[in-house]
Amino acid sequence: MNGGIEYLFSFKDAFAQPATRVFLWIILGAFVAAPIVMLALQGRMSEATRRDAWVRYRTWLLIAPAFLAPVLFAPATAIAAVAVVSILCYREFARATGLFRERSLSAIVAAGIVLVACASLDHWYGLFAALTPLTVIVIAAAAVLPDSPKGYLQRVSLASVAFLLFGSGLGHLGYIANDPGYRAILLLILVSVQLNDIFAYVCGKSFGRRKLFPHTSPGKTLGGHLGALVLTTAFAAAMGHVVFEGTALDRWPALIALGLIISVGGQLGDLVLGSIKRDIGVKDMAATLPGHGGFLDRMNSSLLVAPAVFHFVGYALGYGLEREPRVFSSLVGF
Amino acid sequence: MDKWTYKPAADTQLQPLERLQSTRREAGLVSVGLHAVTTVGLRAYLGAYHRLRVIGRENLPRQTPFVLIANHESMLDSLVLISALPLRLRIETSPVAAGDVFFTNAVSSFLSAVFMNALPIRRKGVTTHALEDLRARLVEGRGGLVLFPEGMRSRDGKMLPFKSGLGNLVAGARIPVIPCFMDGPYRALPFGCVVPRPARITVRIGAPLSFEAQPNTREGWNEVVRACEGAVRGLAGDAARGG
């Protein structure tokens, strides 16, 4: 019997890392500052913008604690929370594209997401990595069984892309929970990505003019992109210095590279969802989160960042390498 | 290369509660699983406690869309009819339920939508607009409906005259209407009672009716209703004769 199970439910040192506490103060500060800023700018905003901003803020007050509480509580709840978000994102994508009518493919993607979470809980990287190609081949194979090739490629492609982005991609956030220092790493990713969105919005409003992707996302401007790139990289590098203090990553070139990955990945993730929505012909993926749209409209920027940052940090440091792997599967002699 | 066509769920832009209470709702994987599990449980209950008998199973549709209609005398009625369907069709079928009873708040809406796949209809002032969503559902082949054209439960077990809304749903469209008659639900659970008695329930399923040739006008609707009411009363007569 190894200490793996106790680790998964270890909540006593949730706030032990200084970086975790710094992030929580930043989040708390943002929640306090946002209404003050909105009140200060009230005169300069149109009635519609103002109402939209308040609705967004109220939704933030609900979704931020709802996601952060399980992420910070213990590794097992963090992995479960990521899996739930993966499922919600898949559900939205499937309903928006019509893929949800292919029930067996939906069941396979959902099973793939659950297995990704199980591999993460098990601390079994081999299975975690293998699930990406395995789920895709199961999708491709299962889709031939009804013997109706019309639309085969579309069904298989939609299901595969959905699993790759929401199951495998986002699932990397869950696997990070195998590292005892996971809380600070996840907060670094989540907070930087959301700030990246805000920086892009604010910079775009302030000095953005030239549109870079008028067909994909007409609201985005060069000024917004560059402003977010500079500010997010600076923020992520500075906070990365706190998170990874004294490790191989604690060098400015590495930290700046990390910041660039987060900022570029976040903005591209935004454009990926923008392209998906334009292609389908919808404005928001759903109406689940008032002011935001659907869960995907909130998670879009994390889609590409999750696996990219996972491997960048993973190559340098690894995740939970000092811990025994395969917590559960070794118990059943598998 | 041909463009891919996407057919989003008809309810994607609705908020969660709105969606539960909408006739545009489309069930996903989890709901479908729950419908199936609920139906298996219901069949076991109806078979064991009410010795449910289904006569005329061969008249049941083999595919969607369709409308199953029957006399309405008990809360058990929709449970009996959906249990008579093969599971493959059951998961695509929605009982049309009174909005003022089954969709009054978030909890009842959730239970009705997720476990029964029920769709609400407001009984006070049913507009053609409300029926349009249901008709669109049928025409697009998005499932079958179970409904009770009397519009309310009979208070004494005697059938009431049919309402004309049924005509709006099917006149001029290729949607088979399957008439059914249930004998026993009134003895098992009459209006005003809460605990079912172990009375035997028998369902008779009649031959499908087609109203493709009827015009989608008031005359057409009246004709549909007359034919449907006649078919259900005919089955009731068979039941009375014990045939």
Q: How confident is the model at residue B142 (pLDDT cuts 50, 70, 90)?
A: confident
What's the domain range around B144? 26-241
- Helix, strand or coil, per DSSP, at residue A231: helix
- pLDDT tens column, A281-326: 988 899 899 989 999 999 999 999 999 999 999 999 999 999 989 9
Greatest CA separation for chain A: 67
Which residue of chain B is at minimal alpha-carbon distance from A154?
B4
Asked if B130 has any chain A CB less than 8 Å from its own CB, the reply is no
Strand partners, B93: B144
The two three-digit tokens of residue B151, written as one number: 């519009």
The answer to whether the complex's ipTM is over 0.95 is no
User: What pLDDT, on the 0 to 100 scale, is given for residue A186?
Assistant: 97
Per-residue pLDDT, averaged over A110-122, amounts to 98
String of b and e for A34-65 (b: at least 16 CB within 10 Å)? beeebeeeeeeeeeeebeebeebeebbeeeee
- pLDDT tens column, B16-71: 999 999 999 999 999 999 999 999 999 999 999 999 999 999 999 999 999 999 99
Mutation target among B1, B6, B20 for the A interface, most CBs of A within 10 A: B6
Mutation target among A97, A109, A155, A284 for the B interface, most CBs of B within 10 A: A97
Asked if B6 has any chain A CB less than 8 Å from its own CB, the reply is yes
* Total count of domains within chain B: 1
B243, pLDDT greater than 70: no
Is there a domain that residue B10 lies in?
no
Per-residue pLDDT, averaged over A60-76, amounts to 96
A chain contacts of residue B6, beta-carbon cutoff 8 Å? 96-98, 279-281
- pLDDT tens column, B156-201: 989 999 998 899 999 999 999 999 999 999 999 999 999 999 999 9
Is there a domain that residue B12 lies in?
no
- Cβ <8 Å between A287 and B26: no
Q: Report the distance separating Cα A250 and Cα A236, nearest Å.
A: 12
Per-residue pLDDT, averaged over B215-219, amounts to 92
The two three-digit tokens of residue A23, written as one number: 């992030």
- Cβ <8 Å between B29 and A103: yes
Please spell the DSSP secondary structure of A112-174, one letter per residue.
Answer: HHHHHHHHHHHT-HHHHHHHHHHHHHHHHHHTTTT---TTHHHHHHHHHHHIIIIIIIHHHHH
Mean pLDDT of chain A: 94
Helix or strand run (H / E) with residue A49 = helix A47-73
Asked if B4 has any chain A CB less than 8 Å from its own CB, the reply is yes
Comparing A60-64, B111-115, B137-141, the range with the smallest average pLDDT is B137-141
Q: How many other C-beta atoms are found inside a 10 Å radius of the C-beta of residue B136?
A: 13
A–B CB contacts, 8 A cutoff, strictly below: 49
Dihedral angle over CA of B179, B184, B187, B193, nearest 10: -60
- pLDDT tens column, A245-285: 999 999 999 999 999 999 999 999 999 999 999 999 988 89
Per-residue pLDDT, averaged over B128-147, amounts to 88
Is there a domain that residue B3 lies in?
no
- pLDDT tens column, A31-59: 999 999 999 988 888 888 889 899 999 99
Per-residue pLDDT, averaged over B203-231, amounts to 95
Q: Report the distance separating Cα A269 and Cα A266, nearest Å.
A: 5
* Closest residue by Cα to residue A267 from A277, A259, A255: A259
B128, pLDDT greater than 80: no
B chain contacts of residue A281, beta-carbon cutoff 8 Å? 6
Per-residue pLDDT, averaged over B117-127, amounts to 81
- Cβ <8 Å between A103 and B32: yes
Q: For chain B, where are the E strands, in sequence order?
A: 53-55, 67-70, 93-98, 119-121, 144-147, 177-183, 202-205
- Cβ <8 Å between B7 and A98: yes
Q: Report the distance separating Cα A168 and Cα A157, nearest Å.
A: 15
What phi-psi label fits residue B13: left (phi over 0), alpha (psi between -120 and 50 degrees) or beta? Answer: alpha
| Domain residue limits, chain A | 4-317
CATH number of the domain where residue B137 is located: 3.40.1130.10
* Closest residue by Cα to residue B120 from B84, B90, B145: B145
Which residues, in sequence order, are CB contacts of A21 under 8 Å at separation 6+?
A15
Residue of A91, A97, A288 lying closest to B28 (CB–CB): A91
The two three-digit tokens of residue A144, written as one number: 């031939």
Which residue of chain A is at minimal alpha-carbon distance from B32?
A103
Mutation target among A92, A95, A104, A105 for the B interface, most CBs of B within 10 A: A95
Measured on CA atoms in the order A282, A287, A290, A295, is the torsion positive or negative?
negative
Q: What percent of chain A has pLDDT over 70?
A: 99
Strand partners, B121: B98
Q: What percent of chain B has pLDDT over 90?
A: 83
User: What pLDDT, on the 0 to 100 scale, is given for residue A224?
Assistant: 95
A chain contacts of residue B16, beta-carbon cutoff 8 Å? 288
A98, pLDDT greater than 60: yes
Is there a domain that residue B19 lies in?
no
- pLDDT tens column, B97-109: 999 899 999 999 9
Is there a domain that residue B234 lies in?
yes
- pLDDT tens column, A23-34: 999 999 999 999
Phi then psi for residue B28, to 5 deg, are -105, -170
* Closest residue by Cα to residue A68 from A26, A110, A36, A5: A26
A1, pLDDT greater than 70: no
Q: What percent of chain A has pLDDT over 90?
A: 86
B126, pLDDT greater than 80: no
